[in-house]
Amino acid sequence: MSRVYNFAAGPAALPLEVLQQAQAELVEYPGLGMSIMETSHRGKTYDAIQQEAQANLRELLGISDDYAVLFLQGGASTQFSMVPMNLLPPGGVADYANSGAWASKAAKEAKKVGQVNFAADCSKEIPTRVPRLDELRLTPGAAYVHITSNETIAGSQWKEFPQTEAPLVADMSSDILSRPFDVNRFGLIYAGAQKNLGPSGVTLVIVRKDLAARAPETLGTMFRYQTHIDHDSLYNTPPTFGIYILMLVTRWVKAQGLENLYRRNVEKAAKLYAAIDGSEGFYKGTAVKECRSDMNVTFRLGSEDLEKQFVAEATAAGLTSLKGHRSVGGIRASIYNACPVAAVDALVSFMADFAKKNG
């Protein structure tokens, strides 16, 4: 069997070099005589892996000592609850920019903890978009402001982040490590690993240390950021194998260079959007042009039947997982860091052929 071009939204394609190295080290990690999966999370070998994963992330994103880099479990969905549990005090207000399905889910969980203000709400608009900076109505004295940097389902992305007085919290699940940005603008960043960072099962949290101290005393131990800061993500058993793969991915990103990857991501997305815009209406992009995501390219065809045919024929041609999210339909090509340019070129060529035959 040969590897297909995988456009899955997450879990998503991983760099081939990472998979090959993991394969080579799977049964016997160098110098250990066993798999990394079989060794203690408190041993020297695993410790070096976790330290390197943290150090690589710090280097790649310029994360200062004011922030902790944590590897947690429960996915980004657990962070929807942990963020307000730790940062939203009784009587406080949290501002949420509602840009789509993922921001809505985050806000829904925050409402269970305290008061939520929608600083802007374009979650139901079609074409899809993220709020403009000038339409954000922020609450003076808000506990924090929450954004979703990339709406994976809608295919929309913040190109510029708001300047906020309150700590800015971002769900960066689907675009972390795809572009350089200033971490210092944020109070807390979280991301499920399964798109740009590694396998599912690891959640990255980058949190300004002073914010973690805000959690109420009554909050359960595992739900407190402070616990994981105090124990360097080793309070309980972390997902060691996932963190090992994440470390290999950060090594790979360092070797590529984050700026280079960013440039390549923009080029990949531009090729697909050009194929959509140049199709004389055969393909229609679903996001407002200024908000088009460089990670998830979403579009529609003339009918659902034609979309089904598109997905089936693409799959047969080795271009897989192009079906849009079940809640919105259409087509979605997820083109994260590990998606090679050749995959995008193959898809562009397939799209042109398909339009010619069916237009």
Ligand X SMILES: Cc1ncc(COP(=O)(O)O)c(C=O)c1O
Among positions 173, 226, 321, 337, the unique one binding ligand X when judged by CB under 6 A: 173
Q: How far is the CB of 82 from ligand X (least distance, A)?
A: 11
Least distance between ligand X and beta carbon 32 (Å): 29
Q: What is the nearest approach in angstroms of ligand X to the Cβ of residue 1?
A: 27
Q: Any contact of residue 102 with ligand X (CB under 6 A)?
A: yes
Q: Which stretch binds ligand X (CB under 6 A): 75-83, 206-214, 233-241, 265-273?
A: 75-83
| Residue 215, C-beta contacts closer than 8 angstroms, at least 6 positions apart | 85, 86, 87, 224, 225, 226
**Is 76 an interacting residue with respect to ligand X (CB under 6 A)?**
yes
161 touches 96 (CB < 8 A): no
Q: Which is nearer to ligand X, 148 or 233 (CB)?
A: 148
The H-assigned helical ranges of the chain are 16-25, 44-61, 75-87, 101-111, 209-212, 225-230, 240-256, 258-277, 304-316, 341-358
192 binds ligand X (CB under 6 A): yes
Among the residue ranges 110-118, 169-177, 229-237, 275-283, the one whose residues contact ligand X (CB under 6 A): 169-177
Binding ligand X (rule: CB under 6 A), the pick from 6, 128, 174, 250 is: 174
Q: What angle do CA 148, 154, 157 make, to 5 degrees?
A: 45
Catalytic residue status for 102: yes
Choose between 35 and 77: whose C-beta lies nearer to ligand X.
77
Give the Cα separation of 77 and 191 in Å (integer). 9
User: Does residue 104 interact with ligand X by CB under 6 A?
Assistant: no
Min. distance of Cβ 84 from ligand X in angstroms? 15
Q: What angle do CA 351, 18, 65 make, to 5 degrees?
A: 110
Tokens of 20: 């090959």
Catalytic residue among 95, 158, 171, 268: 171
Residue type, 240: T
Between 97 and 351, CB nearer to ligand X: 97
Query: At its nearest, how many Å lie between ligand X and the CB of residue 175?
Result: 8
Q: Count of residues binding ligand X (CB under 6 A)?
A: 11
Dihedral, CA of residue 196, residue 198, residue 203 and residue 207, to nearest 10 = -60
Residue 28 beta carbon to ligand X: minimum distance, rounded to whole angstroms? 31
Tokens 């990670």: give the residue.
295
Residues 240-259 that bind ligand X (CB under 6 A): none
Residue of 63, 71, 72, 75 that binds ligand X (CB under 6 A): 75
What is the 3-class SS of 41-66, one letter each residue?
A: CCCHHHHHHHHHHHHHHHHHHCCCCC
CA gap 288, 315 in Å, rounded: 28
User: Can 171 be counted among the known catalytic residues?
Assistant: yes
Find out whether 169 and 188 touch, Cβ atoms under 8 Å.
yes
Q: Does 15 bind ligand X (CB under 6 A)?
A: no
Plot region of 160 (φ>0 → left; ψ -120 to 50 → alpha; else → beta)? beta
**320: β partners:** 6
Tell me whether residue 252 is one of the annotated catalytic residues. no
Binds ligand X by CB under 6 A, chosen from 21, 45, 77, 115: 77
Q: Which of 95, 158, 175, 195 is catalytic?
A: 195
Residue 294 sits in the site that holds ligand X (CB under 6 A):
no
CA torsion angle for 141, 142, 145, 146 (degrees, to 10)?
Answer: 170
Q: Where on the chain is the footprint of ligand X (CB under 6 A)? A: 10, 75-77, 102, 148, 152, 171, 173-174, 192
Which residues have a catalytic role annotated?
A: 102, 171, 195
